[in-house]
Structure 1
Amino acid sequence: MTNRHAAQPRGARMDRRHFLRGVGAATAGLAAATALSGCGTGTSRAAAGSGGKGSKTLVVRNSGGSYGDANQQAIYEPFTKETGIQVKVVNIQYAQMLAQIKQGRPEFDVIDDSMADFVLFHKEGATEELDHDRLKNFKNAGIAENLVTTNAVGKNYWASVMAYRTDAFGGKKPSSWADFWDTKAFPGNRALQALDADLPELEFALLADGVPLDKLYPLDVDRAFKVLGEIKSHVRKFWDTGALPGVLLGRKEVDASSVWHGRLDALIKGGAPLAYGWNGARRQSNALGIPKGAANLDAAYRLIDFSLRPEVQAAYAELYPMAPSVPAAYKKLKPATAENLASSPAHLKNGFDLDVEWWIKNQDAVSKRWQEWTHA
């Protein structure tokens, strides 16, 4: 795995791009939808007919892969069918997006990206301040306040959760991070996320030590590392790719691990004795916004508004294991799908939203300390 941190600005890695590119068999069947979502398939502004308000082509930036395929099938194709506006896709990353915006020539009209990146875009003055009055579906959508900023509207959630082997622990099921840390009651090897994959899981350590969900932030970093030290000798692997927890669990190298939700779906459906534990799930979110200098402002608002329809959000969640930001989507989801998503009513109560602002401010210091701690 290449180290993408050096090439990206502070905070940018929080969008878990590798996760969005590789949920795997959970999205089997979407391959046919990739015609417009491959890297480098975006048309030039001239070829896209970017003549401003009258343009019939809209360019959207997303992270591609199976995430992009689901967007194509659940959002872009129905939008085109309804409006006649064609959607082209580019998969460029934060630094290139910012450079294009600063040059006044963004090749994209809508940004689909992590809420963390939108915080950074806002600090750079690189995105439009959204006029929510132009989003008719937003008014009664009931989107959580922390998923609505001046320059972005939350689209969906992903989560980091606990996973464990159901045939371990003598039939007992760990139900909290305190259980994960309790290697006497639940003996066996563990795995936790490495810095190369995403932000260190300090919150899980604090939850294991009894900190309530609503008292996590600002994180007590000293306390978190003290608690991490208590389990360090039982951690067989600090995993650096989204697929590795499933491999470690499948080979019985570990009995419990943190994992990006969705990465075990195919294994579970295939009969592997694995399960997710949702208590204390760490949620993050993707959002939609508009870059400064977008050539097709009206069409951009129309696509964002379309994406917030409950039926569109539900259609997306049926294809890809990221959870709707619009609560009414759950009325349109299959029960089996709904109960396995990060924003279901039960999971919203039992999990928490990562504090993006805190992590952007403290990421460098925590990362330095993590590296020192892991090598101690």
Structure 2
Amino acid sequence: MKDARIDRRLFLRGIGGVTAGVAAATTLSACGTGTSRASAGGGKGGKTVVVRDSGGSYGAALQKAIYTPFTQETGISVKVLNLDDAPLLAQIKQGRPQCDLINNSMMSHTKYVKQDALEALDLDRVKSVKSAKIPENQITDHAIGSSFYGACMAYRTDAFGGKKPESWADFWDTGAFQGGRSMCNPDGDLPELEFALLADGVPMDKLYPLDVERAFEVLTRLRSDIKKFWDSGPLPGVLLSRQEVTMSTVWDGRIADLQKQGVPVARQLNGMRRQFQGYAIAKGAANMDAAYKLMDFSLRAESQAALAKAFPSNPASAAAYTMLTNEERSQLAGAPEYYDKGFDTDIDWWLKNESAVTKRWLEWARG
């Protein structure tokens, strides 16, 4: 299982928010153990910053919405490195990081901090944080959240005689809401213990620390109705489209795409689990000043809004949503009218317990 969970989730759920033209405009070339690409336009005076991201259509969207405009404004060229956590951490420990700025999950950033692999941030050099209105709990000593994806419920609108599931309790109620279910396995995302506890009446603000025993008891009640465990972003949509299930957990960015294809589905954001992506600076970064400038630029509200237009990504910036049309905003789970319906993943709890929970989940799934 990869540490860069959110990165991989973003990569897998690149659902057409970026055109083929944008992807084709991204120049790829081998660089070390990862992949590097240079921002269009080049830098003035030879200034460069190297940023790590996960590539794919998400990387292409970053190129369009962030890197190219940054180079045009500052004259600093952006080189991109697609590298997994393990080799990047090894480079940092050796004092030779290939990248300066790291775009990664906040969970991965927390792991990096525990290994002394990130620079402590000088927030006075990231002035956009205040104007962008980024949630305070996503501003840490070493990393700042820039976007999130939400895990939520998707359902067929033609399956329940006009009734709409409103909660995770409804997801578990196969009497009132008949049909098969699908949930993720640990190759797709964190085990969905929170949803089981919400279904059993635990309030969102009382979820953590998770009651693992209770969660598995609740999961067991639904086990016979779970027809398939999904491990990639497209699969819930496939199962719903084929009517193999009537409800599934899903990444929120998938639903709008399915609806455009004419699939009778909708999402329910009550009890959505948020996981954030963010920026940090590698310990010993060679281009520290440029890294701060790119971080500051990337966290601007207008930059996050531009990225949301290019990829189904929910800005961390509350101000970014005011820069989107009503139609664009309505598709995003981070919009003000939806935000309070969900909760933030407790990273510290999962870092301590993910391995044990995953082992137990695999045993439970095998029956």
TM-score normalized by the length of structure 2? 0.94
Corresponding residue of 1:343 = 334
Of the structure 1 ranges 189-198 and 141-150, higher mean CA displacement relative to structure 2 is found in: 141-150
Q: Aligned AA for 1:272?
A: V
1:207–1:23 CA distance, 2 compared to 1 (3 A): same
Q: Deviations over 1:212-238 (max 9, x none)?
A: 111110001111111111111111011
Corresponding residue of 2:177 = 186
Trace 1:11-22 onto structure 2 (pairs within 5 A): 12-22=3-13
Equivalent residue in structure 1 for 2:36, among 42, 45, 49? 42
Q: Does 1:329 align with 2:323?
A: no
Q: Give the whole-Å Cα distance in 1 for the aligned partners of 2:25 and 2:347.
A: 32
Corresponding residue of 2:128 = 137
1:112–1:228 CA distance, 2 compared to 1 (3 A): same
Trace 1:150-299 onto structure 2 (pairs within 5 A): 150-299=141-290
Q: Does 1:108 align with 2:108?
A: no
Quote the offset at 1:372 in angstroms.
1.4
Q: Deviations over 1:60-85 (max 9, x none)?
A: 10000011011000000000000011
| 3-state SS in 2 of match to 1:198 | coil
| 3-state SS in 1 of match to 2:210 | coil
Q: Contact (CA 8 Å) 2:52, 2:82: kept in 1 or not?
A: yes
Q: Give the whole-Å Cα distance in 1 for the aligned partners of 2:132 and 2:364.
A: 44
1:18–1:282 CA distance, 2 compared to 1 (3 A): closer
Quote the offset at 1:37 in angstroms.
8.8
Q: Aligned AA for 1:152?
A: A
Q: Give the whole-Å Cα distance in 2 for the aligned partners of 1:104 and 1:144.
A: 32
Q: Give the whole-Å Cα distance in 1 for the aligned partners of 2:162 and 2:295.
A: 46
Q: Contact (CA 8 Å) 1:157, 1:342: kept in 2 or not?
A: no
Identity among equivalent pairs (%): 55
Corresponding residue of 2:87 = 96
Q: Contact (CA 8 Å) 2:148, 2:314: kept in 1 or not?
A: yes
Corresponding residue of 1:68 = 59
1:13–1:229 CA distance, 2 compared to 1 (3 A): farther
| 3-state SS in 2 of match to 1:275 | strand
Unaligned runs of 5+ in 1: none
Q: Contact (CA 8 Å) 1:115, 1:287: kept in 2 or not?
A: yes
1:237–1:311 CA distance, 2 compared to 1 (3 A): same
Q: Give the whole-Å Cα distance in 1 for the aligned partners of 2:132 and 2:86.
A: 32
Corresponding residue of 1:86 = 77
1:77–1:98 CA distance, 2 compared to 1 (3 A): same
| 3-state SS in 2 of match to 1:237 | strand
Corresponding residue of 2:292 = 301
Q: Give the whole-Å Cα distance in 2 for the aligned partners of 1:181 and 1:285.
A: 27
| 3-state SS in 2 of match to 1:128 | coil
Quote the offset at 1:288 in angstroms.
0.4
Quote the offset at 1:342 in angstroms.
2.5
Quote the offset at 1:101 in angstroms.
0.5
Q: Give the whole-Å Cα distance in 2 for the aligned partners of 1:113 and 1:290.
A: 11
Quote the offset at 1:21 in angstroms.
3.8
Of the structure 1 ranges 171-180 and 355-364, higher mean CA displacement relative to structure 2 is found in: 171-180
Corresponding residue of 2:24 = 32
Quote the offset at 1:159 in angstroms.
0.8
Q: Aligned AA for 1:34?
A: T
Of the structure 1 ranges 19-28 and 260-269, higher mean CA displacement relative to structure 2 is found in: 19-28
Q: Give the whole-Å Cα distance in 2 for the aligned partners of 1:192 and 1:354.
A: 17
Q: Contact (CA 8 Å) 2:305, 2:323: kept in 1 or not?
A: yes
Q: Contact (CA 8 Å) 1:55, 1:296: kept in 2 or not?
A: no
Quote the offset at 1:190 in angstroms.
0.4
Q: Give the whole-Å Cα distance in 2 for the aligned partners of 1:37 and 1:253.
A: 42
Q: Give the whole-Å Cα distance in 1 for the aligned partners of 2:4 and 2:155.
A: 26
Q: Give the whole-Å Cα distance in 1 for the aligned partners of 2:177 and 2:103.
A: 41
Q: Aligned AA for 2:177?
A: F
Quote the offset at 1:43 in angstroms.
7.1
1:349–1:172 CA distance, 2 compared to 1 (3 A): same
Q: Deviations over 1:250-293 (max 9, x none)?
A: 10000000011212332211211111111111000101010011
Q: Aligned AA for 1:92?
A: L
Kindly report structure 1 stretches of 4+ aligned residues shifted beyond 6 Å: none
1:247–1:38 CA distance, 2 compared to 1 (3 A): farther
1:37–1:226 CA distance, 2 compared to 1 (3 A): farther
Q: Give the whole-Å Cα distance in 1 for the aligned partners of 2:137 and 2:213.
A: 27
Q: Give the whole-Å Cα distance in 2 for the aligned partners of 1:188 and 1:13.
A: 34
Q: Contact (CA 8 Å) 1:306, 1:312: kept in 2 or not?
A: yes
Q: Give the whole-Å Cα distance in 2 for the aligned partners of 1:19 and 1:317.
A: 13
Q: Give the whole-Å Cα distance in 1 for the aligned partners of 2:211 and 2:13.
A: 33
1:27–1:43 CA distance, 2 compared to 1 (3 A): closer
